[in-house]
Amino acid sequence: MSKKARELTGSQKAAILLISLGPDAASSVYKHLNEEEIESLTLEISAVRKVEKEAREKIFEEFQTIALAQDYISHGGISYANSVLEKALGPDEAKAIVNRLTSSLHVKPFDFAKKADPMQLFTFIQDEHPQTIALILSYLHPQQAGKILSALPHDIQTDIARRIAVMESTSPEVISEIEAVLERKLSSSVQQDYSETGGIEAIVEVLNGVDRATEKTILDSLEIQDPELAEEIKKRMFVFEDIVTLDNRSIQRVIRDSPNEDLLLSMKVSAEDVKEVLFRNMSQRMAESFRDEMEVMGPVRLRDVEEAQSNIVAVIRRLEEAGDIIVARGGGDDVIV
């Protein structure tokens, strides 16, 4: 095969690139490919006979450009990548490279905002309409969205939480318009087709990221405005009192991974069934020590108790994400056998 670089297919260029990089680099690349890709690429490599030096250099140059473009997108967003590439390659080639990458990367709306500091985003969106805020929060990482929701005025927190919960499909025109506003503020923008966002799971994840006081305020208000929605959300959330639903092995792991001071404060005002299940999963010595300390412990601030309980819930969520424990969700969706 002796062709100019522009006459080669993508698979042929990949084959030449791997041959040029050598067997060690090629084998490393193979580890990230599926069987079909490996078979196709191997056939192309076996068909290579001769590659002109100019063609090989062009392929290296193209690979470097695509790698840089992908890095630009991941760090600065599509608009940033496009503007940099335009200066280097011209508008037509820049557009072709960015379009090829975005179609393969499946870039999601507001992907650029996920790299921003939550409080920086809060500054930019706090004065927007509640529906706009709800849309943006539903696309962010739950931890980001939770911090922003906690920082918003109490009188609109519940409204925004409800809007996220009942949100369904959003048109590309609306998304593009909102992204354009943030593009001017964060120098980034993302384009995307119709996309479903929001819903019960979205607001559950957001509420899991807020502080306990904000969580309680929003759920209490929702119980008045929309009792059914509030009940559905609460079924899918995990709060400190739900520790009684964990199996003994999981509870023992939570106790082991939680600071003793957090456990003491959390148990100080917890229900008897919660205390009992925790005591039952402690060593006899630890349980006796905790009972003694709780007897002599004076009054504690509710804020400190809520913070301690939130810390333990955070431990539970971390262990669940790592697959170390299993948390049964409400609504009968999860069955543990």
- What is the structure's pLDDT at 333? 43
Residue of higher predicted confidence among 177 and 64 = 177
Name the residue ranges covered by the structural domains of the chain.
5-105, 112-236, 240-332
Place of tokens 């670089």: 5
With CA atoms as reference, report the closest residue to 327 among 237, 256, 258: 237
Give dist(CA 336, CA 254) in Å, integer: 18
What percent of the chain shows pLDDT beyond 90? 15
More confident residue, 266 or 45: 266
How many Cα atoms sit within 13 Å of 215 on the Cβ side?
A: 22
Contact indicator for 41, 18 with CB cutoff of 8 Å: yes
In CATH terms, the fold of domain 112-236 is Annexin V; domain 1 (1.10.220)
Question: What was the pLDDT predicted at 84?
Answer: 61
- Looking at per-residue pLDDT, the higher value among 35 and 136 belongs to 136
Task: Place 249 in a pLDDT band, splitting at 50, 70 and 90.
Answer: very high
Contact predicate 254/246, CB 8 Å: yes
Select from 1.10.3720.10, 3.40.50.1820, 3.30.230.70, 1.10.220.30 the CATH code of 240-332.
Answer: 1.10.220.30
Backbone angles phi and psi of 195, in degrees to 5: -145, 135
Reported pTM = 0.39
Q: Is the pLDDT of residue 106 over 70?
A: no
Share of the chain above pLDDT 70, in %: 68
Q: What is the pLDDT of residues 186-236, one digit of tens each?
A: 654 333 333 445 567 777 777 766 766 777 778 888 888 888 888 788 777
Average model confidence (pLDDT) across the chain = 75
**Which one-letter amino acid corresponds to residue 274?**
V
Matching fold, domains 112-236 and 240-332: yes
Mean of pLDDT values over 79-108: 62
Asked whether the beta carbons of 79 and 187 are under 8 A apart, the reply is: yes
Tokens describing residue 20: 């040029």
